[in-house]
Amino acid sequence: MSDIMDLCERSPAYVRAIAPYLPGKPITEVARELGLDERSIVKLASNENPRGLSPKAQAAIVAALPDLARYPDGFELLQALSHRLGVPAQQIVLGNGSNDLLELAGMAFLAPGTSAVYSQHAFAVYPLATQARGAASIVVPAKHFGHDLDGFLAAIRPDTRVVFIANPNNPTGTMLGAAELEAFLSRAPKDVAVVLDEAYNEYLAPELRCPSIDWVARFPNLIVTRTFSKIYGLAGLRIGYGVCHASVAALINRVRQPFNVNNLAIAAAVAALTDQAFVRESYELNCAGMAQLTDACKRLGLAWIPSYGNFLTIKIPPDRGENAGQSQAGAVFQKLLRLGVIVRPLSNYAMPDHLRVTIGLARENARFLEALEAVLKG
């Protein structure tokens, strides 16, 4: 007992202070805990693609199985991305999910005595990547649940090494316009790395997408991160990438595990890139599902944060019964679980009155809405 205490106390205080990441509840766990049939459960908690993955990606995974005894080689995927994005492969870094890139940016630039700037209600991995390096977190208050970039500029200190921006942001779904972001990049100090997390980029209407990859040539401190976890439907394989200046990529490659991305993920990602019809259909399904959910919120008199991602964050009205005025989002989350619908509570994002729901298939959205209405009226 005391030996293990001694050991754990040797861990840096900043590591011991990390609050563990809370993932969306897995279907298997909810089924076990509540005695429900797994097939009856609808999971709208982790912004996964409800259509699954492209059949082409699936076939590529099967075809890659016989080669699993070999260590992975990212060359083919780097070439495919280089071709698609119009940047040299030396400017692309592959990650075990784009999460990996966020951590790697932290490893490359943060240490005790430095700081990182990010927004209130921003993606939970930014505080994790910052704290794990012993760096200080500077949290800029959100503006209408979105990022306040003037606030970011004012918050940057001489010891700031990294700024994290999520566009669109999770869990709020808010978006920054290209002009606003470009103005920020022009004004931000050139010796501060700006990590622009575009996990939901492909869910934006084409006219709303930023020329972020082109910006890398003008702003050598910019690191754009993207993922195959969301619209490409490969969350379980863990694959994402970053685009940055070749010198920054070389720096990140020093702290990156040599084989951080696996064979199946590489094969699936290469194939997924060739199936842009799948991406387009997923985008269209998301638009329809977003309308389905917001129309229903209107009908139910619920407020929501306008979202540019594949999820919607809904405000649950306070209790009017015996706990009048108190948040009932936690109770609504639990009651939805019992009805077999998993959504995401947001108290760990300092949004205790909101629930985040991923846009699912039309019938999954309908199941959620039916359950939500029953819970709110019941």
Query: Which residues bind to ligand PLP, rule: CB under 6 A?
Result: 47, 97-99, 123, 166, 170, 197, 199, 227, 229-230, 235, 240
Contact 353, 315 (CB under 8 A): yes
Minimum Å distance from CB 171 to ligand PLP?
8
Nearer to ligand PLP, 140 or 199 (CB): 199
Crossing angle of the two packed helices 276-300 and 263-274, in degrees rounded to 10: 80
Three-class SS of residue 59?
helix
Nearer to ligand PLP, 227 or 328 (CB): 227
Nearer to ligand PLP, 233 or 240 (CB): 240
Sign of dihedral through CA atoms 69, 60, 204, 180? Answer: positive
Minimum Å distance from CB 285 to ligand PLP?
18
In the structure encoding, which two tokens stand for residue 190, read together? Answer: 């050139």
Q: Which residues contact 376 (CB under 8 A, 6 or more apart)?
A: 300, 316, 317, 332
Q: CA-CA-CA-CA torsion for 164, 170, 175, 178, nearest 10 degrees?
A: 40
183 vs 181: CA distance, rounded Å: 5
Nearer to ligand PLP, 30 or 94 (CB): 94
How is residue 164 annotated by DSSP?
A: E
Minimum Å distance from CB 195 to ligand PLP?
10
Nearer to ligand PLP, 166 or 293 (CB): 166
Minimum Å distance from CB 44 to ligand PLP?
14
Contact 95, 106 (CB under 8 A): no
Residue sitting closest to ligand PLP (CB): 97
In the structure encoding, which two tokens stand for residue 197, read together? Answer: 């997390």
Nearer to ligand PLP, 198 or 364 (CB): 198
Q: CA-CA-CA-CA torsion for 348, 142, 50, 127, nearest 10 degrees?
A: -50
Nearer to ligand PLP, 240 or 340 (CB): 240
Minimum Å distance from CB 242 to ligand PLP?
11
Contact 72, 261 (CB under 8 A): yes
Minimum Å distance from CB 269 to ligand PLP?
11
Q: Taking Cα atoms as reference points, which of 334, 327, 331 lies closest to residue 352? A: 327
Minimum Å distance from CB 224 to ligand PLP?
12
